[in-house]
Amino acid sequence: MKNGFQGFLLRRLLVSIPLVVAVLFVTFMLVRIGGQDPVALLAGPTASAAEHEAIRAELGLDRPLLIQFGIYLGGVIQGNLGTSWLSSGEVLDEIASRVFITLELLLWGVAIGAIIAIPVGLRAAARRGSLFDQTVRAISLTGFSVPTYWLGLIAILIFFYFLDLAPAPMGRISAAVARPEAITGSYLIDGLLAAQWESARSAFTHLILPVCTIAVIACAPIMKQARAIGAEVIESEFIRYARASGLGERRVRRMVLRNSLVPILTFVGTEIIGLLGTSSLIELIFSWGGIGQWGLQAILNGDFAAVQGYVLFAALLSVIVFLIIDIAVWLLEPRGRGTA
Amino acid sequence: MRFQSLIPSWVRHALIGAACVSATLGAVAPASANTMVIAATRTPGGFDGDALKPNTQNVVVQTYEGLTKYGYKKDPTTGRLEVDASDIQPHLAESWTVSQDGKTWTFKLRQGVKSPFGNELTSADVVWGWEKSINQKRTGAFIARVSSVSKVEPVDRYTVRFMLEQPSKIFLAALTLYTPSIYDSTEVKKHASAEDPWALKWIDRNTAGFGAYHLQSLKAGEEAIFVVNPNYFGPKPYYERVVYREVPNAGTRFTLLRTGQVQWTEELTLKQIVELKKDKRVKVESDVGTGHASARINPTIKPFDNPKLRQAMAYATDYQAINKAVFEGLGTQARSIVPPIIPGTDTEAWTFATDFNKAKSLLGEAGYPNGIDITLEYSGIFWFEEPLAIQLKDSMAKAGIRVALRKITDADMRSRTAPNRRDLGFFTFMDNPIVLDPVYALFLNAHSQGASNRNNYRNTDFDKIVDAARVEQDPVLRERLVRQAQRIHTGDSSWIMTMYPGVHEAMAPCITGYVWQPDYHERWRELSCKR
């Protein structure tokens, strides 16, 4: 145990470094050989051939790819992710200013989705074949089949356009409300911290529809997985043994929950990563302005440095989420500590 | 269809219950009377007119104004105001004189024009802006080049002189443009440094012009807020504040306009426009514009070097079907490379009304009696490209021209039609000549040195005529040359001239004062809301 936790953490971090470098290398090469060329876009429709070449040289795109990558990697190590050609802003600043905007949406959505889906999934596992189970399976299947984009648009149509319940899908806060001073980047939290109740309320109402959309999307796979994991645990020998030994149903359920929690938690973690891409679309239709919307625009416009920054963010988010899951599992599950 | 009929009653009751909860949460407060909220496709990437980024042009036209401006005239049929390309009026300049040889232009600046920073417009500001553009070698430098400006110098505090390499009829029209911009150079210079002598970094994130508006704040990805220049020399604009809000999804923009959440919206699809034209909660104003949805043929690439084949392709195009299927019937048939709004447009040489038999016979004469296989490349830069490509394939097949469609990336389309490549054989594209002058349009799109001659059209006779027109001072002779050049170009059939999809601006019904501009961006200072 002496070097247990620290060693475990160190090993995890060391494994992550080559992973991140590999992600950077693949992304770097893919954006450059993927047919994207921002020069013509930046030069505008009236530029001459010489102006095209001048911009190419200015962006360093006339150099060999490996040298370009070396320069980029050197910058990344020093915390310089380059400059976005579309906004002229430092990529690191652009990411930093948008991280919490997206995380706020994503974490609320996944958390609400998980809070609903885990007990429902486990209950369905305990009552396999029942009407409840069938209903859960049907809902889960429907959730899988619904396109995110469509769901967001339908939510806007019903709750904003027809019923006028939700605020206009044009960002995170009403245009008529003062923005709270940036502390965390979340208008809700910043509004609460600064006691700007009107801002906090506006931010909260703007969160409801996109968060619910993500929660619905997140619900289906978590529910399905929770059901499958729960069913596996219920069928395991130690639960059968517990039942045979005459343990009460409540204690058995607690055992099922405890033994299901680790794989379910791992799965919820992967869902956060998986939904990062999905949230780009949600951000787009709700004009959210987070990192997903920014990344999507960067991809469409061939803004290389921004695309790389976006992928690096996604990779680091994956590493951090899995690290948190590993730590949680390490704490929850004593059996794995020796092999961690 | 009414909403009630779409949703079962129990859902309705549940939703009404939720409404009570929501009422306590509050709905969006409407924008105040003198604030205009625009649903924009994105926040501007920058504010330097010489380094255009997405949506830069949309806003710099509001902050930087020209020495001259176009006059307006009333359309006799619709009664609406439109740009009069033949009437160029003073704006930041009060008056001007031109030397006998047409090469020296002297402008008297309007006195008392001030920027939001309180500095007065002087000749030094004009000179500084032009020097910046020429030095930067981007958009403004191109404008300087095509209008033959070689030098700009101050004469006194309120007088500035432009020296031209050769007389230019484009010059006065070029001065209507937002670039080379006229900056408040006193303010801008405060932000210059040894590494950045033109303060490009500051200019990219701020505005300092003599126009009606200036940038108050920018939150990238969310909104840019503009406020009126308190020292503006012209009539006080109705909208004191403009919120340029990023709404990247067209469906959302459409919904926001219909519900009155925004007063103006950018870039809707034609389908949405057709729907909005029927909606009393929205006003749509349409103009022909200068953007021509064309399919271009590169005559330097085989088999397109055969003029008979190019003509056969033009005859084998079903223009009516294209207008109906692609442009919702809102398009205007294009018959020249010079848009109809520009004086001097000549449609006489366009004889390519759909005729599949003629196309077949021309194909036979071209040496392809059994038909031919060609490829049409298109991208997603312009929304119409894919449907237009599909219609062309369908229509040309009727004459034995078998078109294979190939979608390429937007970046690929831009780079492969740029001056240093131009290696696409047959492709879709659209250019908008920003200067309403026929010689500019001809030079830009079809001269061998033209920056937007994307299909590499080469005709020495055409080049000679356009070069002569560029320096011709006699308006009658110039117009004759312009017509001659158009006839050569149209006859060579290197463009399948399909439609002008038109410019369709959707706005709140109370908005008045909108006039279409050659740069396709409304002028906020001209808009007002009459309830």
**B461-483 b/e (C-beta count within 10 Å ≥ 16 → b):** ebbebbbebbbbeeeeebbebbb
- Chain A residues touching B28 at Cβ < 8 A: 167-168, 174-176
Q: How far is B260 from chain A (nearest CA, A)?
A: 10
Contact between B376 and B405 under an 8 Å Cβ cutoff? The reply is: yes
What pLDDT shows up at residue B274?
94
- Tell me the C-alpha distance between B518 and B264, whole Å: 19
- Chain A residues touching B46 at Cβ < 8 A: 87-88
| Percent of chain A clearing pLDDT 70 (strictly above) | 93
**B98-113 b/e (C-beta count within 10 Å ≥ 16 → b):** beeebbebebbbbeeb
What are the sequence ranges of the domains in chain B? 29-64+211-287+504-531, 65-200, 293-500
Q: Which DSSP state fits B183?
A: B
What pLDDT shows up at residue B306?
96
Select the more confidently predicted residue: A1 or A87: A87
What pLDDT shows up at residue B117?
97
- Chain B residues touching A159 at Cβ < 8 A: 15
What pLDDT shows up at residue A80?
86
Select the more confidently predicted residue: B226 or A80: B226
Does the structure show a pLDDT above 90 at A330? no
What pLDDT shows up at residue A340?
42
Whole-Å CA distances, B378 to A32, B108, B191:
21, 48, 43
Does the structure show a pLDDT above 60 at A218? yes
**Residue whose tokens read 């200036």:** B214
Q: How far is A182 from chain B (nearest CA, A)?
A: 12
What pLDDT shows up at residue A134?
92
> Hey, which residues 135-154 in chain B have their CB within 8 Å of chain A?
137-139, 142-143
- Please give the span between the terminal C-alpha atoms of chain B, in angstroms, as a whole number: 28
* pLDDT (tens digit per residue) in B457-480: 999 999 999 999 988 888 899 999
Contact B419 A153 (CB under 8 A): no
Dihedral-angle region of residue B267 (phi above 0 means left; psi in -120 to 50 means alpha; beta otherwise) = left
Give the best residue of B406, B415, B449 to mutate against chain A (max A CB count within 10 A): B415
- Tell me the C-alpha distance between A27 and A31, whole Å: 6
> Hey, which residues 406-465 in chain B have their CB within 8 Å of chain A?
408-412, 414-415, 417-420, 431, 444, 451-452
Q: Averaged over A154-172, what is the pLDDT?
A: 92
Contact B15 A163 (CB under 8 A): yes
- Tell me the C-alpha distance between B437 and B174, whole Å: 9
**Residue of chain B nearest A296, judged by CA positions:** B248
What pLDDT shows up at residue A41?
67
Tell me which CATH homologous superfamily contains domain B293-500: Dipeptide-binding Protein; Domain 3 (3.10.105.10)
B220 touches chain A (CB under 8 A): yes
Q: Which residue, A148, A146, A174, A147, is CA-closest to A160?
A: A174
3-class DSSP string for B93-139: EEEEEECCCCCEEEEEECCCCECCCCCECCHHHHHHHHHHHHHHCCH
Contact A170 B39 (CB under 8 A): yes
Q: Averaged over A49-58, what is the pLDDT?
A: 77
Residue B286: strand, helix, or coil: strand
- Chain A residues touching B246 at Cβ < 8 A: 171, 287, 289
pTM of the model: 0.85
B292 touches chain A (CB under 8 A): no
- Tell me the C-alpha distance between B431 and B445, whole Å: 8
Cα angle for residues A329, A331, A335 (degrees, 5° grid) = 75
For domain B65-200, which CATH number applies: 3.30.9.10, 3.40.50.720, 3.40.1080.10, 3.90.76.10? 3.90.76.10
What pLDDT shows up at residue B530?
81
Q: Is the peptide bond before B303 cis (omega within 30 degrees of 0)?
A: yes
**Torsion, CA B251, CA B253, CA B258, CA B264, rounded to 10:** -150
What pLDDT shows up at residue B32?
52
- Chain A residues touching B223 at Cβ < 8 A: 171, 175
The token duo for A23 is 């992600």
From first to last of its 531 residues, chain B has per-residue pLDDT tens of 333 444 444 444 444 444 433 433 333 344 455 999 999 999 998 999 998 888 999 999 999 999 999 999 998 888 899 999 889 999 999 999 999 999 999 999 999 999 999 999 999 999 999 999 999 888 888 889 888 999 999 999 999 999 999 988 889 999 999 999 999 999 999 999 999 999 999 999 999 999 999 999 998 889 999 999 999 999 999 999 999 999 999 999 999 999 999 999 999 999 999 999 999 999 999 999 999 999 999 999 999 999 999 999 999 999 999 999 999 999 999 999 999 989 899 998 899 999 999 999 999 999 999 999 999 999 988 889 999 999 999 999 999 999 999 998 877 888 888 887 899 999 999 988 888 999 999 998 999 988 889 999 999 999 999 999 988 888 899 999 999 999 999 999 999 999 999 999 999 999 999 999 999 999 999 999 986
Tell me which CATH homologous superfamily contains domain B29-64+211-287+504-531: Periplasmic binding protein-like II (3.40.190.10)
For domain A99-290, which CATH number applies: 1.10.599, 1.10.3720, 2.20.25, 1.25.40? 1.10.3720
**Residue of chain B nearest A182, judged by CA positions:** B219
In which element (H, E) is residue A109 found?
helix A91-126
Contact between B472 and B428 under an 8 Å Cβ cutoff? The reply is: no
Q: 3-state DSSP helix/strand/coil percent for chain A, to nearest 5?
A: 75, 0, 20
Banded pLDDT at A16 (limits 50, 70, 90): confident
**Residue of chain B nearest A45, judged by CA positions:** B452
- Tell me the C-alpha distance between B344 and B483, whole Å: 7
Give the best residue of A33, A37, A187 to mutate against chain B (max B CB count within 10 A): A37
Q: Averaged over A87-108, what is the pLDDT?
A: 89
Select the more confidently predicted residue: B192 or A127: B192
Residue B318: strand, helix, or coil: coil
- Tell me the C-alpha distance between B144 and B107, whole Å: 16
B245 touches chain A (CB under 8 A): yes
Q: Which DSSP state fits B330?
A: -
**Beta strands B511-512; B283-287: pairing state:** unpaired
